[in-house]
Structure 1
Amino acid sequence: MDKTRYLKTVVIDKLIDNNAKEIDDVTIEEARLNVYLNGEKAISMMCIPIDQEAHAIGFLMSENVISSIDDIEELVLSEDGLRVDVKAVIDEGSLENLYKEKTLVSGCGGGVTANIAGDVKIPFNQTAFKVTPHTISSEVAKFYEESELYKLTGCVHKAMIYLLDGTTVTSEDIGRHNAIDKVVGKCKLQGHDTTKSILFVSGRLSSEMVVKAVMHKIPIIVSRTAPTYLGVQTAHIHGLTLIGFARGRKMNVYTHSGRIDVQRD
């Protein structure tokens, strides 16, 4: 996919000390994606118009509105790319919560959530999946080296899922939450098992970022930056291995370190 088609050029004044120079600069396109569920409008989301079907499915599954990829009967993207129609078996209670119990989350893009706040009960993650620190360090390096839109604009977040066989699935968006929904949605639509995987994200590990991993039974989440206290507590309670400050050969393992294959003093 040629991602450069989502770039827009603007004219700016570039200031260095007291000198100004007029130059062209590159920005990223932002659009409103409308998601319709069984013929009714479910939600609108501001995003980069990439991976729209995956975005819709990832979000609805993160909110427990759709429980399984097998419950989806039809998935249609409009010609202009700004509407996704989903026909599926749904959890009516979770859908109702989505409208009534909205919480403005702490990430960029003004993300909204409802069902990940605690109403949905998820079993403690007991997955025995293990990885080495080397795997995490090498994948973090690739994660940032290969972020095309960020290099061009400095304006996007990225999420990547590292699967058991070593393959990776990635997505980028203006919002951290959107990027996770998109990459999870892509994995679900492609039939990948995320119960033995690692989720790499850009930006801080706040609670709602962690809960998205919890909802999809992803056992390990990694970032180069810090978690919040609630993010750590959420990971601890749900059995998720949370890793922050993963830079070079160093990283901080905040919870459930048994999944990291290391020698201990």
Structure 2
Amino acid sequence: MTDFVKQEWQIIRFDNDIASEIQDTVAIEYPLTVSLNGSEFATMVCSPTHLQELIIGFLASEGVIRSTKDIQSLQIDETGGFAHVELVTPIDPKNVDHSKRVIGSCCGKSRQFYFQSDVKTAKTIMSQLTIRVDQCFKLMEALQLQSEHFHDTGGVHNAALATADDLLYVHTDIGRHNALDKVYGRVLTDHVPLKDKVIVFSGRVSSEVLLKVSKIGVGIIISKSAPTDLALELARDLNITVIGFARDQKMNVYTHPERIYERVSSQGL
């Protein structure tokens, strides 16, 4: 599969009432159907890059696997849009309900709505990592510099795994949740330790996004966009620091601010 997530499209652009025919760039939307041991499990609409990481991250996020050791084989038919996964221990996809909601308890502090798979896979984060304000700004600036597909199309999201100093992996997708699944798949494939890692993100921090960050196992998410109230309730319970509107040397810290400190302050205050 090509590394490109965009293609050219002939359009007519109006500037006031003056029309001109030009080439525009649009994001590619690619349906990928995943089968487990011969039975169809789910169809994802995604960008056609890093599909193996996407599939691994998605299956882990749904609680189907815990590590890559649970996968016996993974074959991708890029032309047909199918991914065939054989699990070491077969499951019946009909028994994996990723739409049924249950009320679960999170750290005993509050009751929130989860999908059934979230109850099994969401984690309370115990990371003691702290990060300076200026490092947050630099990480977001670095993500923006690597967002060429967004600048070209305006139709994709970016998610990165980073240390406090550098971006490690950057993944792009038309779906913000897909971008995070690609990060998760890379973490599992490369066996990346997570205690000193953060997520840098281009999209809105919804409850779904927050739960994916929890499942990955990272304690800080830095986004240039806004969070939702349910995401913040979950972040407070799951011990995740949510930073939003990180742009133009400004940012909002919504939960667990003890992980964030100024350059001139003592670490940990």
Q: Which bin holds the TM-score, normalised by the shorter protein?
A: 0.7 to 0.9
Cα distance, 1:166 vs. partner?
3.9
Contact 2:12 2:19 in 1 (8 A): yes
Contact 1:223 1:243 in 2 (8 A): yes
* Distance change >3 Å, CA 185–CA 95, structure 1 → 2: farther
Equivalent position of 2:260 in the other structure: 260
* Distance change >3 Å, CA 99–CA 82, structure 1 → 2: same
Equivalent position of 2:57 in the other structure: 58
How many pairs were matched up?
A: 254
1:190 aligns with 2:190: yes
1:75-108: CA deviation from partner (whole Å, max 9, x where unpaired)? 22225272222222469599724355289xxxxx
State how far apart, in whole Å, the 1-side matches of 2:241 and 2:156 are: 25
State how far apart, in whole Å, the 2-side matches of 1:73 and 1:139 are: 36
Letter in 2 for 1:34: T
Contact 2:242 2:253 in 1 (8 A): yes
1:161-181: CA deviation from partner (whole Å, max 9, x where unpaired)? 104784510111111111111
Letter in 2 for 1:245: F
Q: Which has the higher strand share?
A: 2
Cα distance, 1:17 vs. partner?
1.0
**Secondary structure at the residue paired with 2:54?**
helix
Letter in 1 for 2:20: K
Equivalent position of 2:82 in the other structure: 83
State how far apart, in whole Å, the 2-side matches of 1:46 and 1:90 are: 27
State how far apart, in whole Å, the 2-side matches of 1:36 and 1:94 are: 9
State how far apart, in whole Å, the 2-side matches of 1:144 and 1:95 are: 41
State how far apart, in whole Å, the 2-side matches of 1:136 and 1:165 are: 9
State how far apart, in whole Å, the 2-side matches of 1:36 and 1:126 are: 34
Q: TM-score, normalised by structure 2?
A: 0.84
Contact 1:12 1:24 in 2 (8 A): yes
State the superposition RMSD in angstroms: 2.7
Identity %: 31
State how far apart, in whole Å, the 2-side matches of 1:91 and 1:192 are: 26
Structure 1 runs of 4+ aligned residues shifted over 6 Å read none
Contact 1:195 1:216 in 2 (8 A): no
1:144 aligns with 2:131: no
- Please list every run of 5 or more consecutive structure 1 residues that lacks an aligned counterpart in the other structure: 104-112
* Distance change >3 Å, CA 30–CA 102, structure 1 → 2: farther
Contact 1:67 1:90 in 2 (8 A): no
State how far apart, in whole Å, the 1-side matches of 2:236 and 2:164 are: 23
Equivalent position of 2:201 in the other structure: 201
* Distance change >3 Å, CA 123–CA 145, structure 1 → 2: closer
Equivalent position of 1:106 in the other structure: none
**Secondary structure at the residue paired with 1:98?**
coil
Contact 2:46 2:174 in 1 (8 A): yes
Equivalent position of 2:245 in the other structure: 245
Equivalent position of 2:110 in the other structure: none
Letter in 2 for 1:24: Q
Letter in 1 for 2:57: G
